[in-house]
Amino acid sequence: MRLRIPRPYESIATQSEPVVSSKAKVIAFANQKGGVAKTTTTLNLAAAFAEEGHRVLCVDMDPQGNLTMSQGIDPDTLDRSMFDVLVHDMSIREVIRKREIDVACASIDLAGAEIAMSTKIGRERSLEKAFRAIEEDYDFICIDTPPSLGLLTINALTAAHKVIVPVQCEYLSMRGLIQLQNTLSMIRENLNPDVDIEGILPTLVDSRTIHAKEAIEILEENFGDRVFASRIKKTVRFAEAPVRGMSVLKYDPDGMAAQSYRELAKEVLGNGKR
């Protein structure tokens, strides 16, 4: 095991001690490919942080509203959502629902936000600006993003300190990572100089197949220790939990699925294997 120099937030965030820092650490979950477990990872890592005693907000930036739905909230019934926050500068507090985790909700109208914001001055910074009012209320803000690198994702990457990239362990899924890295470089140059990848997370791992093993090897060859030591294996629990409006940590607390996100939380909090 190699030595790691703790990053500033790690020195104050241990498993038993909640973060003392007054401002939330903002993590965006991004990958322009759909179906790679962005939403699943946002919710379940957030739930694992909450289990450790941290105050956590999840922000749904995907017009599909899957994160909102997976906490048992029907996006079609919402009279206000992240659309109003981004486009009309409504306070983000107005769209937060308290469930297992606090969720700033999305609905389908968010699909029109990119066009509605396109003429707004500071359009890339709307989310960052919205967070100022609540950054002392939470230890972590976890942002779920849509499967594109458009203005909604750019807002998330501009507001974030770190990015977690869930990757489905298939060769073709990994090629998109280069494009994401290019977008991040652009964000660093123009909008958010310090944003960086916290880690790349292999998801939907089918450990029985040789292909999955090879795909992880290719990932590690190309991205080295940016790849988390945690692996998220394929299990139907991840499809079952959202139907009940729960994280897997609540739905099946003793299961392997829940455990894998607890391990990821430890890695992110600085107590993990990596």
Ligand X SMILES: Nc1ncnc2c1ncn2[C@@H]1O[C@H](COP(=O)(O)OP(=O)(O)O)[C@@H](O)[C@H]1O
User: Which is it for the CA torsion 238, 18, 56, 34, positive or negative?
Assistant: negative
Question: Which residues, other chains included, contact 264 with Cβ-Cβ below 8 Å and sequence gap of 6+?
Answer: 41, 45, 48, 201, 228, 230, 232, 272
The reply on whether position 262 binds ligand X by CB under 6 A is no
Side by side, which strands form the sheet with 162-168? Answer: 96-98, 102-104, 56-60, 140-144, 25-29, 162-168, 196-203
The reply on whether position 39 binds Mg ion by CB under 5 A is yes
Q: Smaller CB distance to Mg ion: residue 155 or 269? A: 155
The reply on whether position 68 binds Mg ion by CB under 5 A is no
Distance CA 219, CA 187 (A): 23
Considering CB distances under 5 to 8 angstroms, the limit depending on partner class, which of ligand X, Mg ion, none binds residue 235?
Answer: ligand X
β-pairing, 196-203 vs 25-29, is unpaired
- The CB-of-219 to ligand X minimum distance in angstroms stands at 16
- The CB-of-221 to ligand X minimum distance in angstroms stands at 23
Which range binds ligand X by CB under 6 A, 129-137, 175-183, 184-192, 228-236?
A: 228-236
Considering only 40, 153, 158, 192, the residue that binds ligand X (CB under 6 A) is 40
Distance CA 223, CA 227 (A): 6
Considering only 39, 81, 192, 247, the residue that binds ligand X (CB under 6 A) is 39
Whether residue 165 contacts residue 197, with contact meaning beta carbons closer than 8 Å, is answered with yes
Which range binds Mg ion by CB under 5 A, 60-68, 117-125, 188-196, 251-259?
A: 60-68
Considering CB distances under 5 to 8 angstroms, the limit depending on partner class, which of ligand X, Mg ion, none binds residue 112?
Answer: none
Question: Angle at the Cα of 55 (from 103 to 148), degrees rounded to 5?
Answer: 45
Considering CB distances under 5 to 8 angstroms, the limit depending on partner class, which of Mg ion, ligand X, none binds residue 234?
Answer: ligand X
Exposed / middle / buried, residue 65 (Cβ in 10 Å: 0-12, 13-18, 19+)? buried
DSSP state, residue 205: B
Considering CB distances under 5 to 8 angstroms, the limit depending on partner class, which of ligand X, Mg ion, none binds residue 203?
Answer: ligand X
Give the orientation angle of helix 151-159 with respect to helix 176-190, to 10 degrees.
Answer: 60
Whether residue 215 contacts residue 171, with contact meaning beta carbons closer than 8 Å, is answered with yes
Q: Compute how many other C-beta atoms are within 10 angstroms of the C-beta atom of residue 6.
A: 10
Q: Which of positions 42-81 make contact with ligand X (CB under 6 A)?
A: 66
Nearest residue to Mg ion, scored by beta-carbon proximity: 39
Considering only 25, 38, 54, 161, the residue that binds ligand X (CB under 6 A) is 38
Considering only 37, 59, 110, 167, the residue that binds ligand X (CB under 6 A) is 37
The reply on whether position 231 binds ligand X by CB under 6 A is no
The reply on whether position 173 binds ligand X by CB under 6 A is no
The reply on whether position 33 binds Mg ion by CB under 5 A is no
List contacts with Mg ion (CB under 5 A). 38-39, 66
List contacts with ligand X (CB under 6 A). 34-40, 66, 147, 203-204, 232, 234-235, 238-239
